[in-house]
């Protein structure tokens, strides 16, 4: 299989400037904390034996007013190819100011370009003003059991980071249980899982709970035995 993990597929208009610690420091610290947990559980990271060795996983938080128009809901998101970093700080995040699904473009700023999944994050924030945090991880244990677990799954023919994937978010939100589950699997993005919530802890707890449920299913099917050989 050919992997293109971490490849930015949208038109990126990026301004390289230092982000304000005074304005974004607090929310960034919450993202860093949960990213650390996702890193320890293998949902974020970098492995030479997976995805062509590219870093994977990202986290984001809305920083604008709830009343902002779709496509203009600014959010702080981890930078491209930062998945493998053990420690991150403010310089490893980008601020996405605007994004257009129609034009397949993202306007951002920061010392690093935003994650290649920035368009998908924006599409999820467009689903509702109550959504304030989005976490994207990679987990084969959850991904392979998504349908049996009742997790909505995107069309396998739609790749990540594209306008089609952004539209798929809206379709799932309208046609599936996504508004209730707040977790989805990316059918065309191997092992890709996304959760969202109103608070950083709500989104993070949902990801960890989903991981625990997936392992519980494996344990039950294996007669109570479970051998974990590595993260994810």
Range of the domain at 79: 11-219
- What is residue 53's predicted lDDT score, i.e. its pLDDT? 84
138 vs 160: CA distance, rounded Å: 13
Q: What is the CATH number of the domain that holds 152?
A: 3.40.225.10
For residue 169, being part of any structural domain is answered with yes
Query: Pick from 106, 113, 203: which is nearest to 161 by CA?
Result: 106
Give the residue carrying structure tokens 């403010």.
90
Kind plus residue range of the DSSP H or E element containing 138: strand 133-138
| Pairing relationship of beta strands 133-138 and 58-62 according to DSSP bridges | antiparallel
Question: pTM for this one?
Answer: 0.91
Ordered alpha helix ranges (H), the chain: 21-40, 118-125, 140-143, 163-175, 178-181, 200-221
Task: Report the pLDDT value the prediction gives residue 225, as an integer from 0 to 100.
Answer: 54
What phi and psi, each to the nearest 5 degrees, are found at residue 60? -150, 165
In three-state form (DSSP H/G/I as H, E/B as E, the rest C), the secondary structure along 161-219 is CCHHHHHHHHHHHHHCCHHHHCEEECCCCCCEEEEEECCHHHHHHHHHHHHHHHHHHHH
Number of domains in the chain: 1
Distant-in-sequence, close-in-space partners of 108: CB < 8 Å, separation ≥ 6: 12, 13, 14, 15, 94, 95, 96, 97, 114, 118
How far apart are alpha carbons 172 and 230 in whole angstroms? 31
Regions of the chain with pLDDT less than 70: 1-9, 222-232
Q: Give the integer Cα–Cα distance in Å for 151 and 137.
A: 15
Residue 185 lies in a domain: yes
36 vs 43: CA distance, rounded Å:
10
Does residue 70 form part of some domain?
yes
**Res 11: pLDDT:** 76
Confidence (pLDDT) at 231: 47
Six-digit token string for 120: 């998908």
Q: Return the pLDDT at 229.
A: 45
Q: Is residue 226 a part of any domain in this protein? A: no
Residue 164 belongs to some domain of the structure: yes
CA 9/CA 96 separation, integer angstroms: 15
Residue 230 covered by a domain: no
Structure tokens at 179: 């508004």
Residue 232 lies in a domain: no
Distance, in Å, from the CA atom of 66 to the CA atom of 135, rounded to the nearest integer, reads 19
Cβ burial 115-125 (10 Å sphere, 16+ → b, else e): bbbbbbbbbbb
């Amino acid at each position: 299989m050919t992997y293109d993990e971490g490849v930015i597929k949208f038109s990126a208009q990026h301004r390289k400037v230092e982000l304000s610690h005074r304005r974004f420091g607090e929310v960034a610290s919450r993202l860093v904390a949960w990213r650390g947990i996702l890193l320890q559980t293998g949902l974020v990271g970098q492995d030479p034996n997976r995805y062509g060795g590219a870093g994977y996983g990202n986290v984001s938080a809305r920083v604008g007013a709830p009343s902002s128009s779709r496509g203009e809901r600014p959010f702080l998101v981890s930078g491209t190819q930062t998945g493998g970093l053990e420690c991150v700080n403010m310089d490893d995040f980008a601020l996405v100011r605007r994004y257009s699904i129609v034009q397949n473009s993202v306007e951002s700023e920061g010392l690093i370009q935003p994650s290649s999944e920035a368009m998908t994050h924006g599409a999820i924030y467009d689903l509702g003003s109550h959504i304030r945090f989005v976490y994207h991880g990679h987990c084969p244990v959850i991904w392979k059991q998504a349908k049996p677990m009742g997790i909505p799954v995107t069309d396998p023919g739609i790749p990540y980071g594209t306008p089609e994937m952004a539209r798929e978010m809206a379709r799932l939100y309208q046609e599936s249980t996504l508004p209730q589950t707040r977790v989805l699997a990316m059918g065309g993005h191997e092992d890709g899982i996304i959760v969202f919530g109103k608070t950083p802890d709500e989104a993070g707890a949902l990801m960890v709970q989903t991981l625990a449920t997936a392992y519980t299913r494996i344990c039950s099917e294996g007669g109570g035995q479970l051998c974990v050989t590595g993260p994810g």
